[in-house]
Amino acid sequence: MIEIYSKDYVKEQKEKMAERVEALKAKGIHPSMTTFLVQGRSANAQYAKVKGRFAETVGVDYHLVELDAETTTEDLIKAIEEKNQDPNTHGIMVEMPLPEHIDESQIRVALDPNKDVDALHPIHLGNLLHQRPSTIPNTPLAAMKMLELADTEFKGKDCVVIGNSTVVGRPLAELLEQKEATVTLCHIFTNDTAKFTREADIVCSATGVPHLVTEDMIKEGATVVDIGTTYTEDGKLLGDVDYENVAPKTRAITPVPGGVGPVTQVMLFDQMITRLEKEAN
């Protein structure tokens, strides 16, 4: 059984990224990212701080804009549009989910697609489906990288993705299909998810339901990618998979923490830096 830890990969990529950022600065380009955080959800605040630490490590300017919980859709759109027009802002993020009173769909389309580093704008999903160059949602990209680090075969394999969000589940299913895998997408209304996972060579879970995936749902020798992130009241991070009991049955498995999450940060900054490098050339 292979435990797919991301620590070494992330360390290596950070070092390379810092060099790439220095090269951009030598050309007069100082990579800068802004994250909008609407207060009210502690997990969002934690994610925003993680990005800030990563940015500092690789030399990217990072600006966290904290907005109070009463911020309206119009207020947030106005703030985003200011950064859309700012030539010194190269990447924009909005921590999701937003409070219920804010129209998330309006926020997504307000983002300049070129600066939308988390691929929230719907144009990115359309481009992915048509295999056109575009920003790809970072978490699915990170999940694919973890599978590649474990030398996973895709062609002709049966895959199950649990969770059908437009930022994780659906784009991940598309990326797997582009590798010529056969993909089943399960969600909250799937009658018997275990029926599908028991036959799967690859299982990826992104629901945010701790220990949703249990030992009896996985066949011997399967590869399991845990994308779930749920913080307990005491600050402990849990994944979707009952790791202790599932891991012994698998060919390879990602832990939480120490698996997909840190690689998501790599993909986030890598995609922005790659775009700036192309523009500089």
List the pLDDT tens digit at each of the 281 positions of the chain: 999 999 999 999 999 999 999 999 999 999 999 999 999 877 788 889 999 999 999 999 999 999 999 999 999 999 999 999 999 999 999 999 999 999 999 999 999 999 999 999 999 999 999 999 999 999 999 999 999 999 999 999 999 999 999 999 999 999 999 999 999 999 999 999 999 999 999 999 999 999 999 999 999 999 999 999 998 888 889 999 999 999 999 999 999 999 999 999 999 999 999 999 999 98
Beta bridge partners of 99: none
Give me the phi and psi of 160, to 5 degrees please.
-125, 130
Quote the CA–CA distance of 169 and 86 in Å, as a whole number.
Answer: 32
pLDDT at 212: 97
Q: Is 223 annotated as a binding residue?
A: no
Quote the CA–CA distance of 153 and 173 in Å, as a whole number.
Answer: 15
Quote the CA–CA distance of 185 and 173 in Å, as a whole number.
Answer: 7
pLDDT at 40: 82
pLDDT at 45: 87
Give me the phi and psi of 162, to 5 degrees please.
-100, 120
DSSP H/E element including 230:
strand 230-231
pLDDT at 235: 80
pLDDT at 20: 99
Q: Is 163 annotated as a binding residue?
A: yes
Tokens of 258: 């120490």
pLDDT at 43: 79
Q: Is 72 annotated as a binding residue?
A: no
pLDDT at 87: 97
Cα 144 versus chain centre, distance: 11
- What pLDDT, in 10s, does the model give residues 103-147? 999 999 999 999 999 999 999 999 999 999 999 999 999 999 999
Q: Residue 210 in contact with residue 222, Cβ under 8 Å?
A: no
pTM for this one? 0.94
| Residue 87, Cβ density class (10 Å: 0-12 exposed, 13-18 middle, ≥19 buried) | exposed
Tokens of 240: 């979707």
Closest-CA residue to 81 (of 112, 106, 105): 112
Q: Which domains does the chain have, with CATH numbers?
A: 28-114 (3.40.50.10860), 138-261 (3.40.50.720)
